[in-house]
Amino acid sequence: MSIAIDYPVAAPATGPEGFNLPGPYLLFLGDAADTTFLKTGLGLRDWAPGLCIGEHKCAGAAATLGLPVMGPSVAHGAGARAFVLSAASIGGAIRESWIPYLVEALEAGLDIVSGAHDRLGDNAQLRQVAETHGRRLIDVRTPPPGLPIATGRRRSGKRLLTVGTDCALGKKYTALALADAFRARGIDADFRATGQTGIMIAGRGIPIDSVVSDFVAGAAELLSPDADVAHWDVIEGQGSLFHPSYAGVSLGLLHGSQPDVLVLCHAHGRERIVGLPDYPLPSIGRAIEVTLQQAELTNPGVRCAGVSLNTAGLGAEEAEAAMSELARAWNIVVADPMRGGPVFDRLVDACLA
């Protein structure tokens, strides 16, 4: 699956939806030994292949995304306009060993796009080189200025939000798959990105996890404005209402999104919050009940269309059995969007019903 994007080669760094990034991209894999820390790169490769000119990495690095290998100058000549940090490091740092590669990219005429917690502009060398060559240092995890406080006013158009029993279980991929499926049926739909990888895939969005808490719901309202009554905004969820660390951002996003439809995301076999084993995951029924209850504050007509079940690691027959078992247990449509097929079609039907 891939998301179709009408994408400008040159665009302002910020806009009403937070970011409007220059593309296409040369993906920088850093010094990764494998794809474990290439979440951003994998997301871009899988969902925005048309934006990915090639890959570049540190000398001796073993990881690959299977894209053409090329240096910044060659990539610029092939049309690339941004050098995207596609590898994550512990703590979200920009490693000192990466700096020469970033300098090379700036000198070749590429802007640098980063979703790391470290700010590109805090590095004096990068800042100087960027100024010298008229290039931009774009930190995707920087919210746009002037975000409003939420009003709770009902907006025209239709909205779907992916929510989860935990973090890191497929909310972004589910939203992308549903937006693709809606468009394949001739429905006007936009994927609305709320995290750094989603923003790089779509080219725009607001990094909700970096917004000051008072403005999270307002940012979500800005992200999904009034639209035609037949238009769908498919909004990428963040965190989980059941995660003691991130429930706050999840709740603000839920209220500001005012979803008409929720799709609950869950990972097969996961029983406890990742990294916090003292906290068990809620049951599917409990997760739906609590999420709907909270969502009704800003949209009393909200409903849950079904469950997106992450069955990565299971064989086809095992995955089908897992989805069928969960569907019978909770009397709800269950599908793995990444596997597609008739069961995913039924989930799409349920969303649009």
Report which of 42, 83, 81, 93 is spatially closest to residue 63, judged by C-alpha positions: 42
Tens digits of per-residue pLDDT, 71-85? 999 999 999 999 999
Count of alpha carbons within 13 angstroms of residue 241, beta-carbon side: 22
Would you state the pLDDT for residue 9? 30
Would you state the pLDDT for residue 19? 64
Amino acid in the structure at residue 253: L
**Alpha-carbon distance 260 to 287, whole Å?**
17
Helix (H) or strand (E) holding 205, with range, is: none
What does the pLDDT average to over 284-304?
98
Would you state the pLDDT for residue 17? 55
Report which of 141, 140, 136 is spatially closest to residue 126, judged by C-alpha positions: 136
Give the CA distances from residue 159 to residues 179, 222, 234, 261, 306, in Å, rounded to whole numbers and listed in that order.
11, 13, 6, 7, 15
What does the pLDDT average to over 113-125?
93
Question: What are the tokens at 205?
Answer: 């969005």
Candidate from 45-49, 232-236, 344-348 with smallest mean pLDDT? 45-49
Whole-model pTM: value is 0.88
Would you state the pLDDT for residue 39? 87
Tens digits of per-residue pLDDT, 302-338? 999 999 999 999 999 999 999 999 999 999 999 999 9
Would you state the pLDDT for residue 21? 85
Tens digits of per-residue pLDDT, 199-245? 999 888 999 999 999 999 999 999 999 999 999 999 999 999 999 99
Residue 257 scores a pLDDT above 90? yes
When computed from its CA atoms, the radius of gyration of the chain, rounded to whole angstroms, is 20
Q: What is the mean pLDDT of the chain?
A: 92
**Alpha-carbon distance 174 to 237, whole Å?**
9
What percent of the chain has a predicted confidence (pLDDT) above 90? 86
Strand order across the beta sheet in which 82-85 lies: 52-56, 25-28, 82-85, 111-114, 137-139
**Alpha-carbon distance 62 to 181, whole Å?**
35
CB of 138 closer than 8 Å to CB of 112: yes
Residue 8 scores a pLDDT above 50? no
Structural domains of the chain sorted by starting position, each given as residue range(s) with its CATH number in brackets: 25-139 (3.40.50.720), 158-352 (3.40.50.300)
Return the ∠ at Cα 250 (arms to 274 and 224), rounded to 5°. 135
